[in-house]
Amino acid sequence: MDGIITKALGAKAPASITSGDKGRYSSPLTSRYASAEMAFNFSDANKFSTWRKLWITLAAAEQKLGLTDISDEALSQMAEHIYDIDYTLAAAEEKRRRHDVMAHVHTFGVAAPAAAGIIHLGATSCYVTDNSELIMMRDGLDIIIPKLASCIDKLSSFANTYKNLPTLGFTHLQPAQLTTVGKRACLWIQELLMDLRNISRARSDMRFRGVKGTTGTQASFLTLFEGDHDKVEQLDELVTEMSGFPAAYPVTGQTYTRKVDLDVIATLASFGATAHKMTSDIRILASFKEIEEPFEKDQIGSSAMAYKRNPMRCERVCSLSRHLMTLIGNVQQTASTQWLERTLDDSANRRVTLPEAFLTADIVLSLIQNIVDGMVVYPKVIERRIRQELPFMATENIIMWMVKHGGDRQQCHEEIRVLSHQAGRVVKGEGGENDLIERIKNTPYFAPLIPHLDELLNPSTFVGRAPQQVDAFIKREVVPALAPYRARLDAGVTQESINV
């Protein structure tokens, strides 16, 4: 039997397994987590069909501006073959030519033979690679922004619901003055609003590379149009407009400046920090049993400890957010090392970094929507924790009451100090409950205070303006920020069915 086991463990996987889909690495961002819309946005199918659209746009604009070599039949054939891409032929062409763009130029020419001679006319590879990446980033931001607005909207409803519920505040992760559950949620919302502002600004700032040629001088297009500078400018403007951008970058090298990537990814990485902080807070509160993320009826928290209710969604957000935050380093390095008009050491890096940043941000947003949709608050647990700490916090109020009613501040302080230390020894040394209030009740010095003690210990009197701050914050900050998305939010921003 030992020999059979040893042989089985040492055997290699058969070719039928290693050559199949399950025998190839697949990124969990797409295979396990990503929404269908974002996964498609950065797919090969979308990228290469976008290339074909860009070639059609270029040819149509060139024809419109007077290049008679481009026929209507050529444009018609190209338009008929945007999506039916022969990937087998493209792979063979790329293996032969060692150039992905030219492989797809030839493949498109086979599908549209009337256009074979004019596809990519006057363009450099970056006409399709850079412009398609700008399109995908633009469309990716258009997927992300409404989901972010939805998270803010849902969390604002949560904050409004719990704006009056006192809870123990923490500084240095030590008990501090009371706040409310809703006010704490506003701290998360405020950072999400900053992300909404930053990402929306990056989206509105995006431009097109347009038609700029091999080093950005448009020399090839100037030759095509026989030195007519106006027509070259019109071509750039027309292709930009047909591609759905309000403007193109006025100057480029071979590529658009990689500062654009840095600008966009920085906003996503910053959102990653927000998501990590928020879900870390929820994980801490879950350990206190005050708040929990959704936990489904048949969900298993631990394979060994059956009682566990691990905050796995929040843990996943933290895990993915860390990945999202680290990607900014790649983009910074790439932007800083693009020598002169461009170098190709950006290409392989960006093939990984750009899609992963968008996919990760999208996944994190879907997870946060799911968490906020089903977040559970346990008021009784929160109340018990307040009772454990509030007597110590109430000592200042007690001293003030006694002084206002004729007591000596220094004497009152000493009485409270002695009783507080006695109660502290019970809590820390004996593991007992905080009995400071009982000690105060049993001390003759505080007899005038006793009828007013319950009022002084009401938790709602310790939260300051927290409820009013929630109301003002939602009215002044959240409502205006979400106004552009209100109709879509009311209609329901669909949350993709992902493995949350």
For tokens 């073959």, the residue is 81
Q: Which of 175, 215, 98, 189 is nearest to 386 (CA)?
A: 175
CA distance readout (Å), 275 to 48, 173, 265, 290, 360:
33, 19, 15, 20, 11
Residue of 19, 302, 336, 460 with catalytic role: 302
Q: Which amino acid is at 74?
A: A
Distance, CA of 93 to CA of 87 (rounded, Å): 10
Inform me whether the pLDDT recorded for 399 exceeds 90: no
Residue 169 is inside which H or E element, if any? strand 166-171
Q: Which of 341, 343, 323 is nearest to 333 (CA)?
A: 343
Inform me whether the pLDDT recorded for 12 exceeds 80: no
Q: CB under 8 Å to 72, separation ≥6 — which residues?
A: none
pLDDT category of residue 306 using cuts at 50, 70 and 90: very low
266-277 confidence digits (pLDDT tens): 999 999 999 999
- Asked whether 93 and 103 are in contact (CB, 8 A), the reply is yes
pTM of the model: 0.88
pLDDT category of residue 297 using cuts at 50, 70 and 90: very low
191-247 confidence digits (pLDDT tens): 999 999 999 999 999 999 999 999 999 999 999 999 999 999 999 999 999 999 999
pLDDT at position 452: 86
pLDDT at position 428: 85
Give mean pLDDT, residues 472-496.
87
Q: By CB neighbour count within 10 A (0-12 exposed, 13-18 middle, 19+ buried), where does 405 fall? A: exposed
Distance, CA of 62 to CA of 136 (rounded, Å): 24
Give mean pLDDT, residues 432-454.
87
pLDDT at position 79: 96
CA distance readout (Å), 81 to 3, 48, 49, 74, 78:
58, 11, 9, 11, 5
Residue 207 is inside which H or E element, if any? none
Q: Which of 167, 245, 150, 157 is nearest to 484 (CA)?
A: 150
- Asked whether 320 and 363 are in contact (CB, 8 A), the reply is yes
Q: Is residue 263 left, alpha or beta, with left meaning phi > 0 and alpha meaning psi from -120 to 50?
A: alpha
pLDDT category of residue 394 using cuts at 50, 70 and 90: confident
Three-state DSSP class for 140? helix
pLDDT: which is higher, 396 or 417 = 417
- Concerning whether 172 is annotated as a catalytic residue, the answer is yes
Do 125-208+255-297+305-378 and 45-115 fall under one CATH topology? no
pLDDT at position 303: 45
- Concerning whether 302 is annotated as a catalytic residue, the answer is yes
Three-state DSSP class for 177? strand
pLDDT at position 233: 96
What counts of helices (H) and strands (E) characterise the chain?
A: 23, 4
Q: Which two tokens stand for residue 28?
A: 């969990």
Inform me whether the pLDDT recorded for 66 exceeds 90: yes
The residues spanned by each domain of the chain are 45-115, 125-208+255-297+305-378, 395-456
pLDDT at position 446: 87
pLDDT at position 361: 97
pLDDT at position 276: 98
pLDDT at position 8: 60
Right CATH number for 45-115 from 1.10.760.10, 2.30.29.30, 1.10.275.10, 3.40.30.10? 1.10.275.10
Q: Which amino acid is at 84?
A: D
370-384 confidence digits (pLDDT tens): 999 999 999 999 999
What is the DSSP code string of 329-380? Answer: HHHHHHHHT--TT--GGGHHHHHHHHHHHHHHHHHHHHHHHHHHHT-EE-HH
Distance, CA of 430 to CA of 425 (rounded, Å): 7
Inform me whether the pLDDT recorded for 127 exceeds 80: yes
Q: Which of 81, 128, 76 is nearest to 102 (CA)?
A: 128
pLDDT at position 388: 84
417-442 confidence digits (pLDDT tens): 898 889 888 888 888 888 888 888 88
Three-state DSSP class for 95? helix
Mean pLDDT for the chain overall: 90
Q: Which CATH architecture has domain 395-456?
A: Orthogonal Bundle (1.10)
Q: Which CATH architecture has domain 125-208+255-297+305-378?
A: Up-down Bundle (1.20)
Kindly report the number of other CB atoms within 10 A of residue 1's CB atom.
Answer: 5
- Asked whether 424 and 140 are in contact (CB, 8 A), the reply is no
Inform me whether the pLDDT recorded for 499 exceeds 60: no
